[in-house]
Amino acid sequence: MAWGPDNVRKWSTLALLAIMGTALTAAINPGFVATISQKGLDFACQEGVVVLQKELEAIRIPDLTGVFKMKPLGKGYYDFYNMVVEGFHIPNPQIRLLPSEGLRLSIKDANIKISGRWTSKKNFLKARGKFGLSIQGVSFSTDLKLGKSSSGHITVNCSACESHIDSIHLQVSGSMLGWLIQLFHKKIEASLRNTIYEKICKIVTNSVSSKLQPYIQTLPLIARVDEVTRIDYSLMALTTTAEFLEGQLKGEFFWRGSRSSLPITPPAMSFSPNNDHMVHLSISDYFFNSAGLAYQESGTLKITLRDQMLPKDSKFRLNTEFLGTFLPKVAMKFPSTEVQLLITASEPPRLTIQPSGLSLDPALETQAFVVLQNSSLVPLFQLHMVSWNTNASMEVDAEGDRLVGEVKSRLMLELKRSDFGSFKVELLQAVINYLMPTLVVPKINERLRRGFPLPLPAEVKLNNIMFQSYQNFLVLRADVHRT
């Protein structure tokens, strides 16, 4: 690309905001920063309210029993029961940032339709029928306070909830005595109003605690990359403004056998986000270079090349006959014997990010061995492989929920040690120029194409992705969608 199943699912985008925007105060720079725009908040709000609407439509309204008194008739009784919410229409959901606190979800001008049955009794007189309740101008707001538990997980709580109803209209039918109920509609409507007030805020609070919070809890703070490495996405800091929610994450690779401190530090990352995309993910070179350190420390940055790995039509062979063209002593001592090359990273590969793009210093070494009949190895020579003119280049992309990459490299050889006399390494340059793009780089790119997990909750993917490189960090701009 150019640079440049259920209700829980519906909550997922709102969870993304909480996950990537909540943290503790940090003393060092993060390796990974997520910035959520108002566009992202608006999308999350629409997704979350779909769940909330279903929850509100499932409100269970208790039966309502009361007493009426009329001087001519005396005391009577009424009962409203089997009340069902026919619809809860929410036309204007909004979510806004509360600087330094969290989010505020507000609903205005919603309306509710309720139906049920009623009975009335006065001495031997009984009446019954159906009723309809129209509730207009329903408004409510709740503050979502974002925090962090002692275990390091995100917490989302409703710190406040307020609701208001403009008007309630009761209509009864089914009996000539229905007019009695109408005489006491204000008392009945007042009772139902109080019940709805209580139910709305209870439903909202329960929906956050029973749907959103458990979903967030499923996001591990440690993301598994492969059998060797993990990524620490623990929370570090939260910044909220009137326009953006910014979450700072540690963004550090480590291998499962070690969590030692790293000899590198994250750089400062500063850029001006906009509202064109829902999220902006700032990824520092520290993030990538901690990966290099983790793989280097784990001892996995190596590859062994043998002759059977070469295409049959290759003009180069990994045997002593071929090496004999510039190391005759080897061919004489070990005639018609297989040669093995071990390519390792002498130092952790280092990625440099600049506005012009990405470059990679691989720092590789090649050791050559003769493979004897008993599989033992006889060392021949060791080469240092350095970048040719410019560093190797690297391209980064994103696919859904993973960061992927591709390396392009051309290396120059330097003889570091030889056990069979010196020779001109230029004679091996053509071999390395063939082996690297044929066998080595494809193996590296195969791993890079599998990608590294981004800190996204389940069932959330990125689309409309754009990259832009800055000094020491990348910015990934994207929208989100739910799968």
Q: Are residues 156 and 293 in the same domain?
A: no
Q: Residue 63: inside a domain, yes or no?
A: yes
Q: Are residues 211 and 257 in the same domain?
A: no
Give the percent of the chain with pLDDT over 90. Answer: 33
Say what the pLDDT of residue 18 is.
Answer: 46
Q: Count CB atoms within 10 A of the CB of residue 206.
A: 12
Q: Count CB atoms within 10 A of the CB of residue 39.
A: 15
Q: How confident is the model at residue 162 (pLDDT cuts 50, 70, 90)?
A: confident
Q: How confident is the model at residue 385 (pLDDT cuts 50, 70, 90)?
A: confident
Say what the pLDDT of residue 3 is.
Answer: 40
Q: Residue 289: inside a domain, yes or no?
A: yes
Q: Residue 7: inside a domain, yes or no?
A: no
Q: Residue 329: inside a domain, yes or no?
A: yes
Cβ contacts of 443 within 8 Å, gap of 6 or more: 303
Say what the pLDDT of residue 1 is.
Answer: 36
Lowest-pLDDT range, 80-89, 147-156, 179-188?
179-188
Last residue of a domain, one of 194, 217, 240: 217
CB-CB contact of 41 with 146 (8 Å): no
Asked if the model's pLDDT at residue 391 lies above 60, the reply is no
Say what the pLDDT of residue 211 is.
Answer: 83
d(CA 291, CA 348): 9
> Mean pLDDT score of the chain, rounded to an integer?
84
Q: How confident is the model at residue 177 (pLDDT cuts 50, 70, 90)?
A: low
Q: Is 0.85 topped by the overall pTM?
A: no
Residue 390 or residue 130, greater confidence = 130
Q: Are residues 364 and 297 in the same domain?
A: yes
Q: What is the DSSP string of 74-87?
A: EEEEEEEEEEEEEE
Cβ contacts of 428 within 8 Å, gap of 6 or more: 326, 383, 413
Q: Which of 149, 153, 150, 156 is nearest to 221 (CA)?
A: 153
Asked if the model's pLDDT at residue 178 lies above 50, the reply is yes
Q: Quick one: average pLDDT of 438-442?
A: 88
- Residues of 274-296 as b/e, b for ≥16 C-beta within 10 angstroms? eeebbbbbbbbbbbbbbbbbbbb
Q: Quick one: average pLDDT of 133-149?
A: 87
Domain extent, residue 420, equals: 251-482
Say what the pLDDT of residue 147 is.
Answer: 77
d(CA 139, CA 200): 10
Q: How confident is the model at residue 22 (pLDDT cuts 50, 70, 90)?
A: very low
Asked if the model's pLDDT at residue 96 lies above 80, the reply is yes
d(CA 358, CA 408): 11
Q: How confident is the model at residue 182 (pLDDT cuts 50, 70, 90)?
A: low
Lowest-pLDDT range, 12-16, 158-162, 293-297, 431-435?
12-16
CATH of the domain at 125: 3.15.10.10
Residue 425's identity, in one-letter code, is: V
d(CA 371, CA 168): 90
CATH of the domain at 469: 3.15.20.10
Residue 185 or residue 168, greater confidence = 168
Asked if the model's pLDDT at residue 412 lies above 60, the reply is yes
Q: Residue 16: inside a domain, yes or no?
A: no
Q: Residue 154: inside a domain, yes or no?
A: yes
Q: Are residues 188 and 323 in the same domain?
A: no
Say what the pLDDT of residue 277 is.
Answer: 95
Q: Residue 276: inside a domain, yes or no?
A: yes
CB-CB contact of 408 with 441 (8 Å): yes
Q: How confident is the model at residue 479 (pLDDT cuts 50, 70, 90)?
A: very high
Q: Quick one: average pLDDT of 436-463?
A: 88
Lowest-pLDDT range, 13-27, 44-58, 459-473?
13-27
Q: Which of 247, 311, 309 is nearest to 282 (CA)?
A: 247
Q: Residue 97: inside a domain, yes or no?
A: yes
Q: Are residues 323 and 439 in the same domain?
A: yes
Q: How confident is the model at residue 370 (pLDDT cuts 50, 70, 90)?
A: very high
Say what the pLDDT of residue 344 is.
Answer: 93
Range with top average pLDDT, 157-171, 258-272, 366-380: 366-380
Residue 475 or residue 151, greater confidence = 475
Q: How confident is the model at residue 32 (pLDDT cuts 50, 70, 90)?
A: very high
Q: How confident is the model at residue 308 (pLDDT cuts 50, 70, 90)?
A: very high
Say what the pLDDT of residue 407 is.
Answer: 86
Strands 64-70, 92-98: parallel, antiparallel or unpaired by DSSP?
unpaired
Asked if the model's pLDDT at residue 9 lies above 50, the reply is no
Asked if the model's pLDDT at residue 340 lies above 90, the reply is yes
Asked if the model's pLDDT at residue 152 lies above 70, the reply is no
Last residue of a domain, one of 169, 201, 217: 217
**Alpha helices (H) in 6-141, listed in sequence order:** 7-10, 12-21, 38-57
Say what the pLDDT of residue 379 is.
Answer: 95
